[in-house]
Amino acid sequence: MYFIVRVTSSQEKITADILENKATKMENQGIFSIIMPEGMRGYIVIEAESELACRELIANEPHVKGMLKDPLAEAELEKMLVVKQASQEMKVGDIVEFFVGPFKGYKARVIKVDQSKEEITVELMDVAVPIPVTTKSDMAKIIQKSEAS
């Protein structure tokens, strides 16, 4: 069963990490997974064997505000989960165009790629002074591959 747990807004990741560590120490006490649905600020979802197992996990934990009364059906959970688009393999020298954020519509050349953080560092084109900008790679799309590729 899936239970929705209210947590302090913007503390979802920290809370999920704390609960994951606690669940690991509890060793098979009916906790199966901890989910942070994208776009649901202030909430995490816990897959547990029973309501009691979930309540034991969240008891006396920082940032936990409580648990919603009714469990979530699997079909409802699937609607909430967003399938993340496979990130493009950006390489140094690629030309990208931003489609969201403060640089929307700007084109830039990739000068560094950090796969672990899913970040790219780019130099904006068509600006007076090219300044390196680091941003999430999912904010831009490749419009021209580098010739080295």
Edge to edge, the sheet with strand 119-124 lists: 132-136, 119-124, 107-114, 95-98, 140-144
Shared-domain flag, residues 99 and 76: no
pLDDT digits (tens, 9 = 90+) for 61-71: 999 999 998 99
pLDDT of residue 84: 52
Q: Are strands 132-136 and 140-144 parallel, antiparallel or unpaired?
A: unpaired
Q: Specify the pTM.
A: 0.56
Number of domains within the chain: 2
Shared-domain flag, residues 7 and 70: yes
Residue 51 DSSP class: H
Backbone angles phi, psi at 101, to 5 degrees: 85, -170
pLDDT of residue 96: 94
Instruction: Report, as ranges of residue numbers, the positions in the chain whose pLDDT lies below 50.
Output: none
pLDDT of residue 82: 59
Residue 44 DSSP class: E
| Domain around 122 | 95-144
